[in-house]
Structure 1
């Protein structure tokens, strides 16, 4: 894998939803090019948190991060700006894999971004990550990535070290993050895992 595209509606979405997977991909593919686009948080403390967290997750990668200033909770009303942001990335980004929110996510910002992805990246492998929240929108995933215990520990350390603004949230704790990873591990025959939703998966066997 040479190119990875990470998409988030808010600062911390990527790290929470697929941080363990990103850690493993970057460690297994030194020098991989990672492009990250986050729709909200620009000019705030959250942008600084996001940049530090993504740098830690992608320590061995060539990382390019863009954080925009769309209003939190208003992405559907700012559809054109979100669409244009993705279109601006497309001419120079040919990702092997896209990690983005899931289309069924109950948060309107996550859902709007997820639905934009296939309108811009039509023939690319995209996986929708999941974010545990009050809404109870977890669905049965169809793709799992095993997380070794040390990778999960590294992910949790990055979350707590870099997202200080979120520490008071009721859902932002090790028990919640580790609990979901354990459930997905049970479902995939592993100790821990992150889970994704894939509308389509293409498997290439042998040399291209």
Structure 2
């Protein structure tokens, strides 16, 4: 799913690599393998920007990946994305990217056509994602009323 999604969005400009960690078992299992996997990936590329889950995420898998990103990509800018879920831990992001109505619709269409494994979850609905983009659009006065939002510990503007 992630590979097809990335290919659909970015074409041949992206390479998706997966580790063999068990879902919902991080950080309790695979601690060493996870860190080695991400460290090896970091040695193959030197990104200007890393996008990771929010470090304040209460889901253990998400939080662990965020912690690894901060440990390994120490000199890169890290934008932390939001994940809607039962725990209600979205927080107050500080970085906003206004979206046009067409961009918001394209994102919603993309989410509906990918990630079949998530489709049955109680939170995975077009309206949920549209609502969050609308709230973030209100917060940043987005012209079309939609925005993405990120948390960040350190942002360097050039």
Which portions of structure 1, spanning 4 or more consecutive aligned residues, are displaced by more than 2 angstroms? none
TM-score by length of 1: 0.72
Given the alignment, which residue of 87, 100, 103 partners 1:151?
A: 103
TM-score by length of 2: 0.93
Q: CA RMSD in A?
A: 1.1
Shift of 1:88: 0.4
Given the alignment, which residue of 135, 138, 141 partners 2:93?
A: 141
CA distance in 2, matches of 1:165, 1:88: 28
Q: Which has the larger displacement, 75-84 or 177-186? A: 75-84
Shift of 1:164: 2.0
**Pairwise mapping of residues 24-43 of structure 1 onto structure 2 (< 5 A)?**
none
Given the alignment, which residue of 8, 25, 29 partners 1:74?
A: 25
2:74 maps to what in 1?
Answer: 122
1:102 maps to what in 2?
Answer: 54
Matched, 1:50 2:2: yes
> Aligned pair count?
155
Matched, 1:166 2:118: yes
CA distance in 1, matches of 2:117, 2:72: 32
Change (3 A) 1:165 1:90: closer
Q: Give ranges in structure 1 of 5+ residues lacking alignment.
A: 1-48
1:26 maps to what in 2?
Answer: none
Matched, 1:201 2:152: no
CA distance in 2, matches of 1:169, 1:147: 26
